[in-house]
Amino acid sequence: MPKLLKQYLPIFDWAGDYSRDSLIADIIAALIVTIMLIPQSLAYALLAGLPAEVGLYASIAPLVLYAIFGTSRTLAVGPVAVVSLMTATATSMIAEPGTIGYIETAIALAMLSGVFLAIMGLFRLGFIANFLSHPVMTGFITASGILIAISQLKHIFGVQMSGHNLMEQVNSLISKLSEINSTTLLIGLGCLLFLSYVRSGLMGLLLKVGIGEKMANILVKAGPVFAVIVTIILTSGLSLDQRGVDIVGLVPQGLPTLHIPELSLELIEKLGSAAILISLVGFVESISVAQTLAAKRRQQIDPNQELIALGMSNIGSAVSGGYPVTGGFARSVVNFDAGAMTPAAGGFTAIGIALATVFLTPLLYFLPKATLAATIIIAVLSLVKIKPIMETWRYSKGDFFAMFLTIVLTLMVSVEVGITAGVVSSFVLFMYRTTVPHYAVVGQVAGTEHFRNVKRHKVITDPRIISVRVDESLYFSNIRYFENAINELVASNPQCKHVILMCSAVNSIDTSALESLESINSRLKAVNIKLHLSEVKGPVTDRLAHSHFLRNLTGNIYLSQYEAFKSLTAEQ
């Protein structure tokens, strides 16, 4: 099999060794994940403001395409909470929720996201996602979790609620408290309590009564399915829909019609920024899950191929009437824990979802939206993480600022503004840090050949020698700061006769930095001070050899800082 074909179609990498044991393991995992995905897909479609069936459509083709193009053996692709929220935010700015135009816009958003991801993968641009720093992503996901939970309270209380940010939604909810439907509230609270217990306490009870761990795990994951079945039976049997309980209603039976969505230039302009943000957030979430699970089995993930796989999955979702998708944490962990051996498990899951779409959708007519809302709330509460926020505050005030800004703007303005502000603030902090390179005046640790910061250690120094350890590569944005630092050190030490730049951490010196070094050398020469270098790496020395700097250097280049200090202190 040609290497290039395996690179872009990883299915050929694992399909050739596919065994009977793998088949059995993948089918069992697929069964468990399918049970979990049916209510989850319906719930996330509701969160995105889309009809319930769209969530099912978005869980079929993406799984099949990821099995063909993906490099993770256990990643499960489909609708997820944060991307569903971002889809709702972007789509509602263009079309009215509940209209055909809204659905078509969400489908177009999936197509744009897919194309953008695929292009990034083909040009190997996965590194762009690095601009979404971990603190920013943590802040964004936490804020999104809060927004999602608040937005679903309208279904728990059985009231109409509007608003795109936290304050608008809370004010809208407060104004509607007098209209709460008590029956809906009873269903919603009951589901919340049941699902909360399923997640926190059911496993221990099942193990205690003698049920095996594997079966107990399946029953716990099937908790939302039990909630769906029970509330459908209650709603139908007691005609609760006639008491104001909002239900899913008629869900079209059968598989979606395949079609390529129309993308006008105007629509691309309106959705472009949202598609890019959804793509980046989805990719970061997906690759994080994939790499975590792959590490547990000592497998490898190709980030650039993952971009292509996610791109094809989103294109497939759009063509089959779905909305933007990515690799989900919860379903992927379930897939992994259930024993999935290859991406074929995703293909079998897609078959299960397809069968449910064909045969089970009529049974969903009386499903209360409060049940789906409870499913969403319980799922997203795990996204709200306070501990990492406090740890970031203690560890890095700069990173906390970026995180805090992301949280506040996501909650108070919009998800797009929040994540954009987080990226921009992280980039500004990065640029600031690069313009202020770390350096240290060092001295010799007594009895050793080691040199350490004079501010941190008791070391041996010589008033005639200033030894400066440079802790970063030197280039145009930071060299001016470093040059000023050298000038200040020399000005404050009138006995200085030698300046040694310890370059063990310097991996490169660009043209701007080279000119500044030449300037430093000339100024020091004018006041009878020699400039020396120590521990210069080979590639850096090779580049310096092509310049006039080494020929004009007033001092020497030493192999080690110890050699330089020993040689210069011996001079009279």
For 97-144, the pLDDT digits (tens) are: 889 999 999 999 999 999 999 999 999 988 877 777 889 999 999 999
The 10s digit of each residue's pLDDT in 480-508 is: 999 999 999 999 999 999 999 999 999 99
What is the CATH code of the structural domain delimited by 439-569? Answer: 3.30.750.24
Q: Is the confidence at residue 4, as pLDDT, over 80?
A: no
Angle in degrees, CA 156, 157, 163, rounded to 5 = 90
Q: Is 529 left (phi over 0), alpha (psi -120 to 50) or beta?
A: beta
What average pLDDT does this structure show over 235-242? Answer: 95
Average pLDDT score, the chain: 92
Percent with pLDDT over 70 in the chain: 99
According to the model, what pLDDT value does residue 214 have?
Answer: 77
| Domain residue spans of the chain | 21-387, 439-569
What's the rounded mean pLDDT across residues 508-534?
A: 96
Alpha-carbon span 422 to 406, nearest angstrom:
5
Note the pLDDT of residue 533: 97
Q: Read off the pLDDT band of 220 (50, 70, 90).
A: confident
Using 50, 70 and 90 to split pLDDT, how confident is the model at 3?
low
- The answer on pLDDT for 18 being more than 80 is yes
Is pLDDT at 572 greater than 70 in this prediction? no
- Gyration radius (Cα) of the chain, Å: 30
pLDDT at 249 over 70: yes
Residue 1 predicted with pLDDT over 60: no
Task: Tell me the H-state helices in 123-208.
Answer: 134-151, 153-157, 166-175, 182-200, 202-208
**DSSP line for 479-513:** HHHHHHHHHHHHHT-TT--EEEEE-TT---B-HHH
Percent of the chain scoring above 90 in pLDDT: 76
| Closest by Cα among 457, 454, 544, 565 to 501 | 565
What's the rounded mean pLDDT across residues 178-195? 95
pLDDT at 204: 87
Question: How many Cβ atoms from other residues are within 10 Å of residue 84's Cβ?
Answer: 28
**Given the DSSP bridges, would you call strands 326-327 and 439-444 parallel, antiparallel or unpaired?**
unpaired
Confidence at residue 2, expressed as pLDDT on a 0 to 100 scale: 62
